[in-house]
Amino acid sequence: MTSQIIYTGALRTEATHLQSGSTIQTDAPTDNQGKGERFSPTDLLATALGACMVTTMGIKAQTMPLALDGTRVEVTKVMVADPRRIGKIIVTLHLPASIGASEEQKMILERVARACPVERSLHPDLVLELSFNWAG
């Protein structure tokens, strides 16, 4: 088992990662009867995509060897109705000039990000807008 989730009431949950014991609390979003005081489940899905992309890039970067320290990932989730679901996720990765990647290394890292396990698990109808801003 990976995690355990407890419904704590008032449209909130607490999820525990069983291997580490770390927890995440969720709240329903304000546009769906919640208070929006924590990540919503759909926020976590969109955020997981950005985290997976930069993590897989980091794994590959170690073999190059490059360090992606300081990379910032911005994630925007766009909901659609009928049925209510995530319609689009916009991910922008801002990679600092201090990485010093060559054009070939940048291409490899971008390809790795686009093939991360979360991206491969998403429904093909979900629109993904991905961009990479290589500073310097």
| Predicted confidence pLDDT, tens digits, the chain (136 residues) | 999 999 999 999 999 999 999 999 999 999 999 999 999 999 999 999 999 999 999 999 999 999 999 999 999 999 999 999 999 999 999 999 999 999 999 999 999 999 999 999 999 999 999 999 998 4
Q: What is the pTM of this model?
A: 0.94
Q: Does domain 40-134 have CATH number 3.30.300.20?
A: yes
3-class state of residue 40 by DSSP: coil
76, 128 in Cβ contact below 8 A? no
List the chain domain ranges.
1-39, 40-134
| Phi, then psi, of 109 in degrees rounded to 5 | -65, -40
Question: How far is it, in rounded angstroms, from Cα 82 to Cα 113?
Answer: 30
42, 49 in Cβ contact below 8 A? no
